[in-house]
């Protein structure tokens, strides 16, 4: 168990052995890694624990650089545990290099079916008992998908929690993947409209880049294909507070300067690859739609829901846009089947992803009756203009959960926890304590 110091903090590595399938505790086991963070000088203090659940799915926990970000506030009161959810970071990996060792695509899909929120929360409970004892309780902070996990925690193991903080992560309790995307496309279109109103010169830029990609085969530095549709998916940037500005700066350097043949610049292609490659978080793409699967809501498969719903929104069609004079609209937090062809990190997992998209009868992730009777204090930040999580669905859920208070704000976007230097977390802490 390694212990090391950074400015203002002391960090301790923890590794836990957990069952792959919690219904079979004597079967195969995997490892889950977590990093403990405590304020320097308070290592021996009896501090309450705060478990952090990262967004995703498939996102590893933050790698702190001293007392930074929301830790500025958290470490005033808590000993923090940054969890690498199963399959991510330093936990037993699940990616194109390791999954083929499981066997064929069917075996890989069966393995990955154990990587949703229900399994993650059962991991958390084993870890809680190891660190705090059977009767110990801790707090949980869930960002985005981590908030989804927090609701699963409140559904099936509320006895382990003393309080819960959720930022941009209240899901629709009875919402199918198709309904999620039917609500998402209009929000993404609105973000596009705001972007092009702010940067009207980007209308011509997006058209020129998309037309170039239609007429030329363009490869990214990693060998992946940059298609017009892949270019559109840069719109995922529009959900962050400074995302529109960052996207504009990316577009303005797209082509090599000069009067000769127009070529996309190396700097542009390198930056685009950083935004589009799933090499660092393949589970985000593979499991993305499965996080909405629940048999009590629908026993049908998720079936590439984002692609299905896309067909009903022709304003996002590249060729239709190029036939007119408007911008090529960016898409958002959507996963499409073609990504498993264009991205080298996903291509070997294409059949596995397809099997998961066709999987039916997913176990429930939430218990509506338990949530209605919930007595664990909960505070949730709902971002009014959140591009990733629908605010209306979040507020409907908030009304269905006992002991939950919301803070609805348009001061921050989905990344408010990360960029607010602890102000978002402080507001939620004060809500739980009745100070706000």
234 and 272 Cβ atoms separated by less than 8 Å? yes
3 and 11 Cβ atoms separated by less than 8 Å? yes
Q: In what order do the strands lie in the sheet with 378-383?
A: 3-6, 9-19, 29-39, 79-84, 49-53, 138-143, 161-167, 378-383, 404-409
Closest CA to 91 of 21, 20, 147, 148: 20
User: SS3 of 240, please?
Assistant: coil
Q: Can 144 be counted among the known catalytic residues?
A: yes
Q: Cα(365)–Cα(292) distance, rounded to whole angstroms?
A: 8
The CA-based dihedral angle spanning residues 108, 367, 15, 58, taken in that order and rounded to the nearest 10 degrees = 50
Options 144, 233, 277, 420, the catalytic residue: 144
Options 266, 361, 384, 410, the catalytic residue: 361
Residue 138 to residues 49, 50, 220, 297, 313: CA-CA distances in angstroms?
A: 5, 6, 45, 30, 44
Residue 366: exposed, middle, or buried by beta-carbon count in 10 A (0-12, 13-18, 19+)?
Answer: buried
The sign one gets for the Cα dihedral 249, 286, 180, 402 is negative
The CA-based dihedral angle spanning residues 60, 66, 71, 72, taken in that order and rounded to the nearest 10 degrees = -160
Options 114, 212, 288, 414, the catalytic residue: 414
Q: Can 414 be counted among the known catalytic residues?
A: yes
Alpha carbon 25 to its chain centroid, in Å, reads 28
User: SS3 of 125, please?
Assistant: helix
Closest CA to 303 of 318, 288, 316: 288
* List of E strands, 297-399: 378-383
Positions annotated as catalytic residues are 144, 361, 414
């Amino acid at each position: 168990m390694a212990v090391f110091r950074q400015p203002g903090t002391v960090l301790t590595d923890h590794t836990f052995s957990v069952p792959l399938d919690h219904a079979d505790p004597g079967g195969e086991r995997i490892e889950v890694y977590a990093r403990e963070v405590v304020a320097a000088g308070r290592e021996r203090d009896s501090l309450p624990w705060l478990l952090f659940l990262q967004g995703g799915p498939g996102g590893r926990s933050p790698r702190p650089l001293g007392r930074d970000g929301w830790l500025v506030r958290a470490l005033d009161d808590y000993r923090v545990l940054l969890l690498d959810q199963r399959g991510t970071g330093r936990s037993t990996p699940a990616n194109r290099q390791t999954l083929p060792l499981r066997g064929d695509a069917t075996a890989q899909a069966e393995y990955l079916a154990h990587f949703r929120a229900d399994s993650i929360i059962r991991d958390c409970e084993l870890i809680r008992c190891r660190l705090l004892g059977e009767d110990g309780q801790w707090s949980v902070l869930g960002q985005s998908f981590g908030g989804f996990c927090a609701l699963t925690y409140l559904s099936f193991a509320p006895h382990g929690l003393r309080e819960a903080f959720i930022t941009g992560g209240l899901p629709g309790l009875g919402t199918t993947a198709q309904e999620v995307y039917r609500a998402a496309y209009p929000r993404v279109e609105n973000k596009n409209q705001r972007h092009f109103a702010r940067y009207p010169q980007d209308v011509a830029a997006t058209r020129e880049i998309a037309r170039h990609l239609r007429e030329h085969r363009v490869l990214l530095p990693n060998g992946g294909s940059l298609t017009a549709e892949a270019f559109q998916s840069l719109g995922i940037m529009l959900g962050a507070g400074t995302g529109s500005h960052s996207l504009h700066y990316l577009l303005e350097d797209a082509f090599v300067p000069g009067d000769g043949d127009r070529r996309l610049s190396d700097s542009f292609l390198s930056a685009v690859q950083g935004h589009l490659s799933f090499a660092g978080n393949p589970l985000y793409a593979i499991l993305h739609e499965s996080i909405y699967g629940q048999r009590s809501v629908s026993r049908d498969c998720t079936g590439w829901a984002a692609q299905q719903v896309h067909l009903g929104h022709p304003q996002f069609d590249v060729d239709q846009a190029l036939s007119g004079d408007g911008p090529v609209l960016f898409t958002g937090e959507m996963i499409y089947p073609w990504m498993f062809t264009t991205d080298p990190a996903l291509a070997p997992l294409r059949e596995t992803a397809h099997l998961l998209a066709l999987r039916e009868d997913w176990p429930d992730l939430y218990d509506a009756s338990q949530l209605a009777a919930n007595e664990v204090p909960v505070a949730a930040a709902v971002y009014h203009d959140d591009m990733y999580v629908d605010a209306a669905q979040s507020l409907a859920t908030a009304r269905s959960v006992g002991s939950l208070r919301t803070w609805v704000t348009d001061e921050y976007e989905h990344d408010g926890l990360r960029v607010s230097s602890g102000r978002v977390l402080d507001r939620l802490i004060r809500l739980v304590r009745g100070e706000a």
